A and B are shown apart, each in its own frame.
Chain A
């Protein structure tokens, strides 16, 4: 388990190519353990690409090549000896659009642990995950109903429950609240704060106020003239939003350039 290391994940000179196109170049980023790290930057700067590299989600895209290394507990997750499925269990992901399985609420949570060979009390595990995702009180009386009947915000929290059911160490979130109304968004944000006590969270967001509200650290990415993404600045969120070191960070977060 993590929690002992200062950094949950570290990338070293990580570059991502789609064919000959370099989408992101030379990212050196150390993500502190049990903190929320936000990744912000203009469209096309490679935020989601970087996020997907952290649990080998890019493997699923053809013609992608990753250089450099991504260390998780001291091991490069791109080593040949590493099983990407195991990586994705320990480093979970929540997507922009809630994507529950067309099954019952219960099954959505139980499914991941079942295929991972979970042998304990399944009811207890499902309740624990739903409670952790701040959804239990709303669904406890309809666990056998279809997950597709839940509201958008509830579906997203169900996806978070599904992600934490398999007890990952890191949760990656790609615009987890961008499709939700403001109230549902605040619930997700509160939930992220609570979850960060147990998990390391890395969140990609277009919403700078959201990054400022919820994250402990912020990574600002920008895009150069070749449309290649670069990590411009990584620092404590408070520093980034009150006194960033780089002019381009300042220009972006003050909304002077887009």
Chain B
């Protein structure tokens, strides 16, 4: 075997990874801002989030186009091929998480500036854990860290427990006073979005495992 070859292709793969991390950062930022804006009922930020989602979508399309270009022009194989396939999936997952942030933005506009039906305690916690998991999964993706990819999704249970608690509290409130249905529902949707965001982190981790091992793996989320 001789010298290292394909340095420009290797650089392009690095750029693809960096772009994916960038998309991830944008999504984390959006999710954090959405819950923060929910707490403050900040209509400006809510509108901003809805608009900013277009940038996230565009970034994801750019990444997809880069993946297709590399497949068409570089004929990637083995680990390179798996990495590109994983980036296609991961960027889709990230874009969807971005949609959840936008969704919370819309919910904020529906709620308006009126006082929230209950103090926000568990929903910000859900957001903290989900964004932390997401950040960790991006680190695991960068370092191709198999161990981390296998353990990060275990925290999904914490998010699920919080969601169940929020769900129970809000349903109880509805049962006590049916006029609160709409306002309870808005918060329930927001919580649900965060619960789904954490689920998608598990999908990202499954893709990291695939990139490293070549095995198709699915976490049992029940």
Tell me the minimal C-beta distance from A24 to chain B in angstroms. 17
Residue of A nearest to B74 (CB): A255
Is A257 touching B81 in the complex (CB atoms < 8 A)?
Answer: no
Residues of B within 8 A of A120 (CB): none
A252 (CB) vs chain B CBs: closest residue = B1
A7 to B3, CA, bound (A): 37
Contact B80 A254 (CB under 8 A): yes
CA A208 to CA B9, docked complex, whole Å:
17
A256:B6 contact, CB within 8 angstroms = yes
B7 to A, closest residue via Cβ: A256
The count of residues in chain B whose C-beta lies closer than 8 Å to any C-beta of chain A is 18
Most buried by B among A249, A250, A254, A255: A254
Residues on A with C-beta less than 8 A from B77 are: 208, 212, 241-242, 253-255
User: A257 and B76: CB pair below 8 A?
Assistant: no
Contact B81 A242 (CB under 8 A): yes
Contact (Cβ within 8 A) B3 A242: no
Q: Is the CB of A258 within 8 A of B214?
A: no
B79 sits at the interface (CB 8 A): yes
B73 at the interface (CB under 8 A from A): no
Chain B, residues 48-80, CB within 8 Å of chain A (1/0): the string is: 000000000000000000000000000111111
Q: Contacts A242-B214, A243-B214 given: A254-B78 contact, CB under 8 Å?
A: yes
Are B79 and A257 in contact, CB atoms less than 8 angstroms apart?
no
Report how far A255 CA is from B73 CA in the complex, Å: 14
Return A246 CB to nearest CB of chain B, in Å. Answer: 10
Cβ-based interface call for B221 (8 A): no
> A48 in the interface, Cβ–Cβ < 8 Å?
no
Q: Which residues of B contact A208 (CB under 8 A)?
A: 75, 77
Most buried by A among B1, B75, B76, B81: B1
Q: Are A256 and B4 in contact (CB under 8 A)?
A: yes
> Known contacts A222-B1, A242-B214, A243-B214; is A255 also within 8 Å of B6 by CB?
yes
Q: List 29 A-B pairs, Cβ < 8 Å.
A: A212-B77, A240-B78, A241-B78, A241-B81, A242-B81, A242-B82, A242-B214, A243-B78, A243-B82, A243-B214, A244-B78, A248-B1, A250-B78, A250-B79, A251-B1, A252-B1, A254-B76, A255-B5, A255-B6, A255-B9, A255-B77, A256-B4, A256-B6, A257-B1, A257-B4, A257-B5, A258-B1, A258-B2, A258-B5
Nearest first, the 5 A-B pairs at minimum CB distance are A243-B214, A257-B1, A253-B77, A255-B6, A250-B78
| B contact set with A: CB distance below 8 Å | 1-6, 9-10, 75-82, 213-214
14 new A-B contacts at CB < 8 Å, known A242-B77, A249-B78, A251-B1: A208-B77, A209-B75, A241-B77, A242-B78, A248-B1, A253-B77, A253-B78, A254-B77, A254-B80, A255-B5, A255-B77, A256-B4, A256-B6, A258-B5
